[in-house]
Structure formats: structure tokens, C-alpha cells
């Protein structure tokens, strides 16, 4: 009978090889997610770069993949967190890794931001809440890829009656009809308005056409007793006020 040779005892400090533990099988990005969430909870959004804030938004949309490369690709493509969530779904889908559900989640964040900004001006006289109004307009239209012309209709106390888009155009032009603005103001019994539109180029400097169009609206509304408080132009690089520039 052949006897099997006894196995030598294990040397102190050495362990036998074993199958990977569940901790070893955990993807590397799980720890990164928890660290990023902790930084956000402790220090807030201002402590995070745009791509990191975007990662947080993508965690729920894509729960089982490292989303840092996608977040960085989106920032490279569009420029900033605000520009990513403001991009049209079709343009978002051009970035590899952005599904229809991811695009929908990003647009939901944009809608929530707009609703929050609108709530800050809803029940206040707009002329005494100018910074809140600018934040609202910036959130609503500063990063759009097409020109959009908006009219805010106010009552006698300068409270907001309605905020309406009067026209959408191309990357550098939106048709505006002063008599249509006047007709709508009369329908709403509005006594004052604030005009706003965006420059997709990013530069909010008013053009000659912007100035002429604003003055034409003023000339149509003035005989009706409707005041044009201002025309604000929004861009990625800031805003311009025609009233502040003494152009109206």
C-alpha cells in the first residue's frame, strides 16, 4: 500500500491562495462614488468640479458603470454643467453612452432648476428682485442653442402675470412682432413688460437689430400706457441690460 506524503505545514505569515472575496470583486468605482457623495454632503456643490457634479447626476441613471469618462466627455462637448443639462436631447444622444433615459434624467434636472428659479420671483415685485430675475432668465435661456425671445408681463405692482416665449429662431435670429406683443399685453391687462432674449454665441452685447426692435416695441406700447422696463440679453458670458446701457 502506498502512503501519501503529508503536506508540509504552512509557514507563519503566509496564507493559502483562495478565491477572490466579494470585496475584491467590487468594481473600483464604487468607493469613488461613496467618496464623491460624501464630499457633496460635507462641502456642497461648490466644492465639486462640473464633471464631478455631473457624475453625481449620472450615478442614478447608470448604476453599474464608471461614469467619470462619460461626465468628462459631456463637459468637453458642451462646455459646462449648465450647458450639458440645457442641451437638446438629440445633441446629448450624439455623445456615446448617453441613452434616451440618461438624456431624460438630465432634462429633468434642467426643469427642476428652472422651476426653482421661477419660484424665487413668482410672488415678488420683479423690479425689487432683479438678481433673482436674472438668475431665472439665465437658468431658462442663457445656454440654449437657438435664439429665444421671451416677454414677462407685469401688473401694476410689477408682479409677474405671465412669462411667455413669443418666438424661437435660429442661432442668430428670432422674428419678433411688436404688435403681437402689444396685443398679448392688452389681453392680459398688463401695464408693464420686461423683454428678454438670448445670444447662443455667448456674447450678450446688443446688436443694432436688438436696439431697433426694442425701440419699435417701446413706440408701439407707449401710446397704450404700457411701460417697457428693460430688455435683458443673456449669454454664457453674462448679460446686458439695454436700460442699464441707456439704449432705451
Give yes or no for residue 140 having a pLDDT over 80: yes
Q: Where are the domains of the chain?
A: 28-115, 125-241
- pLDDT for the residue numbered 26: 55
Q: How far apart are CA 50 and CA 68, in angstroms?
A: 11
Chain length of the chain: 248
Q: Give backbone dihedrals phi and psi of 219, rounded to 5 degrees, phi first.
A: -65, -30
Q: Sign of the C-alpha dihedral, residues 80, 84, 87, 91? A: positive
Do residues 242 and 85 touch, judged by C-beta distance below 8 A?
A: no
Reference 142, options 178, 117, 175; nearest CA is: 117
Residue with the bigger pLDDT between 17 and 179: it is 179
Q: What's the pLDDT at 30?
A: 65
Q: What is the pLDDT of residues 8-57, one digit of tens each?
A: 554 444 344 444 444 445 565 668 888 999 999 999 988 999 999 999 99
Higher pLDDT, 16 or 78: 78
Which H or E element spans position 56? helix 50-61
Model confidence at 174, pLDDT cuts 50, 70, 90, reads low
Indicate whether 2 pLDDT > 60.
no
Specify the range with the lowest mean pLDDT, choosing from 1-10, 42-51, 103-112.
1-10
Region of 44 on the Ramachandran plot (φ > 0 left; ψ -120 to 50 alpha; else beta):
left
Edge-first strand listing for the sheet containing 148-154: 160-168, 148-154, 192-198, 227-235, 238-241
Confidence band of 116 (pLDDT split at 50, 70, 90): confident
Q: What is the model's pLDDT at position 171? A: 53
Q: What is the pTM for the complete model shown?
A: 0.73
Residue 5 has pLDDT above 90, yes or no: no
* Averaged pLDDT of the chain: 86
CA distance 53 to 81: 8
The phi, psi pair for 107, rounded to 5°, reads -70, -30
193-222 residue pLDDT tens: 999 999 998 899 999 999 999 999 999 999
The yes/no answer on whether domain 125-241 falls in CATH 3.40.50.300 is no
pLDDT number for residue 21: 45
Which 3-state string (H, E, C) describes 110-141? Answer: HHHHHHHHHHCCCCCCHHHCHHHHHHHHHHHH
Residue 142 in 3-state DSSP? coil
Amino acid at each position: 500500500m502506498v502512503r501519501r506524503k503529508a503536506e508540509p505545514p504552512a509557514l507563519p505569515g503566509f496564507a493559502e491562495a483562495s478565491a477572490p472575496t466579494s470585496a475584491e470583486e467590487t468594481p473600483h468605482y464604487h468607493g469613488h462614488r461613496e467618496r464623491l457623495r460624501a464630499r457633496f454632503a460635507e462641502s456642497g456643490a461648490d466644492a465639486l468640479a462640473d464633471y464631478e457634479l455631473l457624475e453625481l447626476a449620472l450615478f442614478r441613471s447608470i448604476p453599474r458603470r464608471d461614469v467619470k469618462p462619460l461626465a468628462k466627455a459631456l463637459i468637453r462637448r458642451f462646455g459646462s454643467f449648465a450647458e450639458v443639462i440645457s442641451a437638446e436631447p438629440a445633441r446629448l444622444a450624439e455623445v456615446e453612452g448617453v441613452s434616451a433615459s440618461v438624456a431624460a434624467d438630465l432634462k429633468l434636472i434642467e426643469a427642476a432648476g428652472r422651476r426653482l428659479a421661477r419660484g424665487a420671483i413668482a410672488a415678488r415685485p420683479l423690479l425689487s428682485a432683479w438678481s433673482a430675475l436674472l438668475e431665472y432668465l439665465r437658468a431658462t435661456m442663457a445656454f440654449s442653442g437657438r435664439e429665444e425671445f421671451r416677454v414677462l408681463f407685469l401688473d401694476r405692482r410689477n408682479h409677474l402675470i405671465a412669462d411667455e416665449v413669443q418666438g424661437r429662431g435660429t442661432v442668430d435670429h428670432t422674428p419678433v412682432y411688436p404688435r403681437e406683443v402689444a396685443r398679448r399685453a392688452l389681453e392680459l391687462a398688463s401695464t408693464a413688460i420686461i423683454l428678454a432674449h438670448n445670444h447662443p454665441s455667448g456674447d450678450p452685447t446688443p446688436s443694432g437689430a436688438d436696439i431697433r426692435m426694442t425701440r419699435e416695441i417701446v413706440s408701439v406700447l407707449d401710446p397704450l400706457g404700457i411701460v417697457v422696463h428693460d430688455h435683458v440679453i443673456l449669454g454664457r458670458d453674462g448679460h446686458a441690460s439695454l436700460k442699464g446701457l441707456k439704449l432705451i
